[in-house]
Amino acid sequence: MEIKNTYVRSWVEEMALLTRPDQIVWIDGSEAQAEELRKQAMATGEMIKLNQEKLPGCYLHRTAVNDVARVEGRTFICTTNKEDAGNINNWMDPYECYYKLSKLYRGSMKGRTMYVIPYSMGIVGSDFAKYGIELTDSIYVVLNMLIMTRVGTEVLEAMGNDAGFIKGLHAKADIDEENRYICHFPQDNTIWSINSGYGGNVLLGKKCFALRIASYLGRKEGWMAEHMLILGVEYPNGETKYICAAFPSACGKTNLAMLIPPAVYAQKGYKVWCVGDDIAWLRVGEDGRLWAMNPENGFFGVAPGTNEKSNPNALHTTMKDTIFTNVVHDLDNNTVWWEGLDNNPPANAIDWKGNKWDYTKYDKKDKSTCGAHPNSRFTAKAANCPCLSAEFENAHGVPVSAIVFGGRRAKTAPLVYQSFNWQHGSFVGSIMASETTAAAAGAVGVVRRDPMAMRPFVGYDMGDYWQHWIDMGKKIPNAPKIFHVNWFRTDDEGHFIWPGFGDNMRVLMWILARCEGKVDAVETAIGYVPKAEDINIEGLEDVTLDTIRELVSIDTASWKEDLANIKEFYALVGDRVPAEMKEELAALEKRLG
């Protein structure tokens, strides 16, 4: 392969001098090359080929047991001025970081191959696409990137001799937790990741580029990179309205993006289409609306809980060409299993750690008895998704009617509420909170503030990021309406009150009706909530109008308690909290009385 881009060539050479691989292989995007890599990975045990009759093109991979999720504590934003990374991010001086990590990278690819992956976030050659090169010594990473992004020779061609590509360097090194670093240099368009082999730490196009670096670029260039799904609701008359929703990791984006409408809507001809399940790049269109495009080409979805009832579309998407990571290996069938797939755990099986697994010892309350890791995942092609939107390949994306924020809250946050306007909606995003999940290392189930579901993903100061939200609102003449949802309110026994999953469509329909001015609402201290009778509960067994009343009720006392925590968080974000946000906070406090 002839590499015309001189910047790419010299950077690859420089990184090879540092890491010293035995050989360098350029990834061209061809099926023949991918197949060759799969064979090599099978030979070393890195990948296990699954039953090709039941799961054609599917493979299983297990990561190291100490390497199963993003590591926020070891993720750094390296800007010249500490203030530009802000108080919420970990910061390191760029020179110090390059120096420190260079020592770890030095010679780390000896005896290994360096793969050069030219990839595009967005449609190759389109105005909104951005290009990156990831260098990695992991075949698993190459095979995942081939699914998650658009990869190969055509990307190099589209890059021409441009120097503005994102330079990503990944080395597995020894998968040493103590020396694991995920570092971003937004001023240099550079990402350095070392000592991990897991998902968001190493598929550098995803969280590192499409969120952290892209959010930085978006602020500079006047657009937004957000942790959002994109879905379309098609009405019986053929018209489609689009919604973007930001929920924290493992809080329901993939599920909502692929939802199957309940019978009351399906029978009338409503359909839901998935444009994206994790990341949205948003721009103001010439028509004055906000447009969203999904820069990815596949789904890196949570396996546990995915089943024929909760998310049949996701399940079908994983039936071919899929890489499963850290799920149970069913040895009798050479297939895969995870908690919540069905009620038939395999008797002869290997757990995610690679040990013989005895399902009879499985105890729901003790995560250490799980067969699949709670953050086990599937990497599947968007093209294999039965409900993929026809607009998926549209480089401009889709016009957005509503933005929805949401978290996992047992109490406080109602099923749904609407903000008063863009500024208030941005404030609603800034005070989002959610219980932590297995998607990141650390405690699970602790409520923490996670503004716009972007706490781990903003590549600069959080206050500046909020200001960017406020400023963007002023540039969108026909801005989407902003809402907040919570599918996770629980009763006194800890059971979810709202059925969730496909039935979330009932809430989306209220949201869209609000956008079109077709339904009234009740004004409360926190925003507009639905009248109970305006949430369609036809066909729901355990939900009555009283249930809805309970779900949309505002508990003033718990909101006042939350206020104290919000103020603490604002103080932590620090000096750059926009005046508009402070104004909104004071107004909320006043309304709560």
**Which residue has the CB atom at the shortest distance from ligand SPV?**
200
- How far apart are CB 517 and ligand GTP at their closest, in Å? 27
Of 134, 137, 226, 278, the residue at the interface with ligand GTP (CB under 6 A) is 278
Element (H, E) at 182: strand 181-185
Residue 295 binds to ligand GTP (criterion: CB under 6 A): no
> Of residues 198-257, which lie at the interface with ligand SPV (CB under 6 A)?
199-200, 206-207, 249
Show Cβ contacts of residue 49 under 8 Å, excluding neighbours closer than 6 positions: 38, 42, 59
- Give the closest residue to 256 by CA, choosing from 582, 504, 531: 504
- How far apart are CB 235 and ligand SPV at their closest, in Å? 30
> Of residues 251-310, which lie at the interface with ligand SPV (CB under 6 A)?
278, 300
The count of chain residues that interact with ligand SPV, using the rule CB under 6 A, is 9
Backbone angles phi, psi at 551, to 5 degrees: -65, -30
Of 253, 381, 468, 484, the residue at the interface with ligand GTP (CB under 6 A) is 253
Backbone angles phi, psi at 250, to 5 degrees: 60, 35
- How far apart are CB 210 and Mn ion at their closest, in Å? 10
Which x/- pattern over 487-526 shows residues binding ligand GTP (rule: CB under 6 A)? xx-------x---xx--x----------------------
- How far apart are CB 201 and ligand GTP at their closest, in Å? 13
- By beta-carbon proximity to Mn ion, the closer residue of 214 and 284 is 214
Piece of the chain touching ligand GTP by CB under 6 A; list 122-130, 296-304, 412-420, 423-431: 296-304
**Eight-state DSSP code of residue 261:** P
Residue 278 binds to Mn ion (criterion: CB under 5 A): yes
DSSP one-letter string for 515-560: HTT-S--EE-SSSEE--GGGS--TT-SS--HHHHHHHT---HHHHH
> How many Cα neighbours within 13 Å face the side chain of 295?
30
Cα separation, 117 vs 29, whole angstroms: 9
Residue 277 binds to Mn ion (criterion: CB under 5 A): no
Residue 310 binds which entry of Mn ion, ligand SPV, ligand GTP, none, with Cβ cut-offs from 5 to 8 Å by kind? ligand GTP
Cα separation, 161 vs 247, whole angstroms: 38
Piece of the chain touching ligand GTP by CB under 6 A; list 42-50, 243-251, 285-293, 358-366: 243-251
20: left (phi over 0), alpha (psi -120 to 50) or beta: left
Residue 199 binds which entry of ligand SPV, Mn ion, ligand GTP, none, with Cβ cut-offs from 5 to 8 Å by kind? ligand SPV
Contacts of 236-241 spanning 24+ positions with Cβ under 8 A: 236/268, 236/269, 236/270, 240/273, 240/398, 241/401, 241/402, 241/512, 241/515
Catalytic one of 97, 183, 244, 251: 251
Residue 70 binds which entry of ligand GTP, Mn ion, ligand SPV, none, with Cβ cut-offs from 5 to 8 Å by kind? ligand SPV
- By beta-carbon proximity to ligand SPV, the closer residue of 67 and 278 is 278
**Which residue has the CB atom at the shortest distance from Mn ion?**
278
**Eight-state DSSP code of residue 364:** T
Residue 133 binds to ligand GTP (criterion: CB under 6 A): no
- Give the closest residue to 214 by CA, choosing from 128, 142, 336, 316: 128
Q: Is the dihedral of CA 214, 215, 221, 223 positive or negative?
A: positive
Structure tokens at 150: 């658009």
Other residues' Cβ atoms within 10 Å of the Cβ of residue 249: 24
Which x/- pattern over 230-269 shows residues binding Mn ion (rule: CB under 5 A)? -------------------x--------------------
Cα separation, 435 vs 442, whole angstroms: 12
- How far apart are CB 306 and ligand SPV at their closest, in Å? 14
Residue 423 binds to ligand GTP (criterion: CB under 6 A): no
Task: Give residue 231's identity as a one-letter amino acid code.
Answer: L
Residue 67 binds to ligand SPV (criterion: CB under 6 A): no
- How far apart are CB 227 and ligand SPV at their closest, in Å? 7
- How far apart are CB 454 and ligand GTP at their closest, in Å? 12
78 is catalytic: no
- How far apart are CB 248 and ligand SPV at their closest, in Å? 7
Instruction: Give the N- to C-terminal CA distance of the chain in Å, as an integer.
Output: 68
- How far apart are CB 479 and Mn ion at their closest, in Å? 24
Which x/- pattern over 140-179 shows residues binding ligand SPV (rule: CB under 6 A)? ----------------------------------------
Interstrand relation of 59-61 and 323-325 (parallel, antiparallel or unpaired): parallel
Residue 301 binds to ligand GTP (criterion: CB under 6 A): yes
The torsion of the CA quartet 351, 356, 360, 366, rounded to 10 degrees, works out to -50
Cα separation, 259 vs 312, whole angstroms: 8
Cα separation, 447 vs 453, whole angstroms: 13
Q: Please, what's the largest Cα pairwise distance for the chain?
A: 69
Residue 439 binds to ligand GTP (criterion: CB under 6 A): yes
- By beta-carbon proximity to ligand GTP, the closer residue of 312 and 500 is 500
Residue 149 binds which entry of ligand GTP, Mn ion, ligand SPV, none, with Cβ cut-offs from 5 to 8 Å by kind? none
Cα separation, 111 vs 221, whole angstroms: 42
Residues in contact with Mn ion by CB under 5 A are: 249, 278
Residues in contact with ligand GTP by CB under 6 A are: 247, 249-255, 277-278, 301-302, 304-305, 310, 439, 487-488, 496, 500-501, 504
Residues in contact with ligand SPV by CB under 6 A are: 70, 199-200, 206-207, 249, 278, 300, 439
Report, as residue numbers or ranges, the catalytic residues.
251
